[in-house]
Chains A and B, each alone.
Chain A
Amino acid sequence: MMKRIFLLMFVLIFTNFVPVTNANAQVAGKCMTCHKEKSPGLYRQWYMSEHAQHKVTCIDCHSADKNEKDAFYHEGAYIATLVTPKDCGQCHRKEFEEVENSYHAKAGQILDSKDAYLAHVTGGEPVAILGCEGCHGANVKIDPNSPNKLSSKSWPNSGIGRINPDGSLGSCNACHTRHAFSKAQARQPESCSKCHLGPDHPQKEVYEESKHGNAYYTHVDDMNLKSDKWVVGVDYFDAPSCATCHMSATRTAPLSHDVGKRLSWTLRPPVSVHKENWQEKRRNLKEVCLACHSEPFADGHFFQYDSFVHLYNEKFAIPSGEIMDIVRENNLLEREAAFGNDIEWTYWELWHHEGRRARHGASMMGPDYTWWHGIYEVAKHFYFKFIPQARAYGDPEVNRYIDNLLADDPMHQWLHKDAKTLRANIRSGKLQQIYQEFYNRK
């Protein structure tokens, strides 16, 4: 009996004192030795990172099973260059699941979208690789002849919706750039503005124009960006960044990597629609606002914003869409190929560029983007480019639709009136009455 107890004690002591990661430590040490010398920048990034502090080394993320599609043998171990959300999810389970179910993760499935079609036909594959897939993510292909088994057409790629060989979607380092994988970086607007900028969705520019952006750049040093806990109003209070409103923790809600959780509208399509469970999502966002604003302030913003979206939809988006439908149905387009006709480009820019700019400007309180870069451009091109191009077909149905729209819709009737009357109507508030129906619409 005593013998057994001793044996048991021995086993317990022995197993406790042998480091479980011994074999791995040797491999880990070998990776570090060479890469410290050969890739000093990368190594330093890692060395200063939280990963290093927690003994997460090269091999912990890059080790691969021999049977994985992108696994290759390197200096004594099977590894993979590509670290996918699945790999990160070994430790960051919650984040992995949130990302996997988010709109970001679907960004790579754009091959059938108009955007990808446009880039492929008017540009070409290299354009699509560097342009579209740079943000949206590539469908990563395997090339057995490549040293790291990844096709050069799809690697490097850090697009946020990358389709990985292991089936996982996304790329964590789109926001948490390797090899520092910094929280602070992802909390800064610059991280998002890698993609959310430009003529079709100038979120970065709108943010910079807004009070929020102004305050952020004034107080960037006081934003406590490196803090582990980052609750708005508690750990920082000077300004919100993109992450604050869309992802980060509030006093009641935890951080979520599902970026759509606080979005009530989708401003992406030609005609904006409310998202599923939009009231709940609106409440989620309002919760963020309330860290700094009173409730009437937050409600007031949504009141103004919602009416704007309805106006855009009904005054420009729906009519232009319907005109395009008639043009297509009546086979008026000269070329069969989509984007082979000038009216298609006009319509595309009307909603995809100008219309989105206007809506994004309104959503984030960017006055210039709401009006001059937004509705001003929409109106100019709707009235004096799109409609003339549609009329040029001389199709009775198209002409009838346009005539009726301009004659019957009070929002468009101004075209047939004189300026003096219109000015008087603005002063008296009569013109404004036309838009009353957009306020408080449910």
Chain B
Amino acid sequence: MLEKFRNFLYGLSVNWTGKLGATLTTSSFIIFVVLQVGMLLGVITNAYVGLVTYLLFPALFVIGLILIPISWYSYKKGTGKTSRELLKERFEQEEVEPRTYGSKLIQTIAIFTIINIIFLSGASMKMLQFMDRPYFCGTACHDVMNPEWVTYQDSPHARVKCVDCHVGEGGEALIDSKLNGLWQIISAAFELYEKPIPTPVHQLRPARETCEKCHWPDKFYGHRLKNIVHYAHNEVSSPQYTTLDLKIDTGKEFDRAGIHWHIAEENEVRYASLNDEREEMIWVEVRQPDGSFKRYTNTDIDYDVKTEDIRVLDCVDCHNRATHIYKAPQAAIDEAIFRGVLPRNLPYISKQAYAAITGNYADKQAAFKGIENELQGYYRQEYPEFASAHQALIDSTVAVLQDIYDRNIHHGMNIDWGAYPSQLGHESSDGCFRCHNGDLVDSDGNTIDSDCVLCHSILAMESDETLEFLIEEDTTDVEYQMRQYLKREFLEGN
């Protein structure tokens, strides 16, 4: 049997091209099988092997297969003989002798073709499956995608596959994404991409289709209590609480419109923004089911609105960083202190940590060194006794800050603090105030309401207590009237 296979291969290997083709095909097949068996048995676990197994070897296999007929054709042309003559020359008489079901050679080729088809189908399936894995998306184009990969793994959607949001279902989506991927390979290979990758990404799938598979608007009702802790830049890094009671209703029932009013079934909110960057609004309008609509325009902007600048508002207009969340430096520090990984008993930790991670560093290595120098130097100089007694604590703090830096700053892609601000709320960018501002006016000169309690009741505002404004009012307080107003608004206003 082996002898026969050897003869077959010899017969095909008419010249160097043929030999190369046969070798490539055979060896990549064998290696693929070995690796696959290894992976099935759990001997090979390195995920990176998948890249080689499912992408490289099937590709080499196909290239080899293509080379064989090419070599045959050039050989035939070179010798000037007919195929029959050549077959007789290359193979034994017995092999090429005509039979009822074709010659033995034909039978061999047929068998191999079937094996090839089965193998290639299997390999393609595995390849597609592999390419559906976040690991592939995150690591195949390492330089470009690494920042997104890092932030994705640290996000609320870390267990949702990239393709679930970015590709979608069905053959068309698959083909689209593969064609798009082809361009991305070229763009990654020749570094044709912009750094950082500009946002918003305009060719994202319709967000409502994607997001609403899990988050359906019928469930957006009631209130959501949000407590934001900020640690002040004082010696004890005292916590300051901002507590907001977010009114998130879609407002379908009982006329209790809240923030998700914007995506309620009966409202269609459309807008045109400057260069479709979704930052500066030229106009924004709402259409009701009866066809009536109201438009608010910024008359100060002299801009010719093109069709592609117009967009129907959906989830990602506000939740623009639902997954790839780049934190603001202070927010990252606040979170770390809250979780207890940054120790509050280090004097001025909130302030010093901020100074350390927001330094202007040339690259990651310099940043790591700089963060270390900043912290170690500060405590050695200002709190020498404390520093020598708590060296291990300071060391671990340095490591935490380096980790925060590493997750959020990506020099290779020019991603610095604030490169990708979140539009949710109005903390790190204009957010809600992109539309809820005094610049957009309707035909009567009215603006869109931007009252603070429109979207949330305020129960604490950089206060010492989490529910500061609900506790007993102190009439001597400078902000007495404000507290009184906010308390009433919460208790009576909803």
Contacts and interface: CB of A to CB of B under 8 A. Distances in A.
Contact of A55 (B438, B452, B461, B480): B480
Interface string A203-215: 0000000000000
Contacts of B450: 34
B201 interface: no
Nearest to A49: B478
Nearest to A26: B485
A147 interface: yes
B484 interface: yes
A195 interface: no
Given A34-B452, A37-B452, A29 B483 contact: yes
B486 A29 contact: yes
Given A33-B453, A34-B451, A36-B461, A47 B478 contact: yes
Contacts of B461: 36-37
B282 interface: no
Interface string A44-75: 00010000110101000000000000000001
Given A36-B461, A53-B478, A29 B484 contact: yes
Given A33-B482, A53-B478, A26 B488 contact: yes
Contacts of B187: none
28 contacts: A25-B485, A26-B481, A26-B485, A26-B488, A28-B481, A28-B482, A28-B485, A29-B481, A29-B482, A29-B483, A29-B484, A29-B485, A30-B453, A32-B479, A32-B482, A33-B485, A34-B450, A34-B451, A36-B461, A36-B482, A37-B452, A37-B461, A47-B478, A52-B478, A53-B478, A55-B478, A55-B481, A147-B438
Given A28-B482, A32-B481, A55-B480, 7 more contacts: A26-B481, A26-B484, A29-B485, A30-B451, A47-B479, A75-B451, A147-B438
Contacts of B438: 147
A30 B488 CA distance: 11
Which of B450, B458, B478, B488 has most chain A Cβ within 10 Å? B478
Contacts of B451: 30, 34, 75
Contact of A57 (B452, B458, B481, B486): B481
A357 B290 CA distance: 75
Interface of B: 438, 450-453, 458, 461, 478-486, 488
Nearest 4 A/B pairs, CB to CB: A29-B485, A32-B482, A28-B481, A29-B481
Contacts of B483: 29
Nearest to A25: B481
Interface residues of A, number: 17
A32 B483 CA distance: 9
B452 A33 contact: yes
Contacts of A25: 480-481, 484-485
B230 to A, nearest CB: 14
B166 to A, nearest CB: 36
Contact of B485 (A30, A47, A55): A30
B195 to A, nearest CB: 34
Contacts of B458: 33
Contacts of A47: 478-479
A277 B483 CA distance: 54
Contacts of B485: 25-26, 28-30, 32-33
A47 B451 CA distance: 21
Contacts of B488: 26
Nearest to A73: B446
Nearest to B426: A37
B224 to A, nearest CB: 19
B353 to A, nearest CB: 23
Contacts of A30: 451, 453, 485
A381 B158 CA distance: 83
